[in-house]
């Protein structure tokens, strides 16, 4: 995972404010927020599918005759 310090985030926000302006910066942050929310939802769905698959595999191992 990418790790940003607060100073790096602040510098990035100042540069974006200078180049984009305050109106476009708000639109950018809203768009980024939507993207991150979608990514987080996809991640949660992926983890849920993996978890369910692992449960099914464990159940098959338990019910498998030896």
Question: Residue 12 domain-assigned?
Answer: no
Domain interval for residue 41? 21-63
Q: Using the predicted structure, report yes or no on whether residue 1 has a pLDDT greater than 60.
A: no
Question: Residue 32 domain-assigned?
Answer: yes
Residues for the chain: how many in total?
66
Task: Taking residues 12-29, report their average pLDDT.
Answer: 90
Model confidence, pTM: 0.62
21-62 pLDDT per residue, tens: 989 989 988 999 999 999 999 999 999 999 999 999 999 888
Q: Using the predicted structure, report yes or no on whether residue 8 has a pLDDT greater than 70.
A: yes
Provide the pLDDT for residue 37. Answer: 95
Question: Residue 54 domain-assigned?
Answer: yes
Provide the pLDDT for residue 29. Answer: 87
User: 56-62, long-range: CB within 8 Å, 24+ apart, which pairs?
Assistant: none
Give me the number of domains the chain comprises: 1
Question: Residue 10 domain-assigned?
Answer: no
């Amino acid at each position: 995972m990418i790790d940003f310090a607060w100073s790096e985030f602040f510098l990035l926000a100042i540069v974006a404010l200078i180049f984009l302006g305050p109106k476009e910066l708000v639109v950018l942050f809203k768009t980024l927020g939507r993207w991150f929310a979608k990514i987080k939802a996809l991640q949660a769905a992926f983890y849920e599918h993996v978890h369910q698959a692992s449960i099914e595999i464990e159940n098959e191992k338990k019910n498998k005759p030896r």
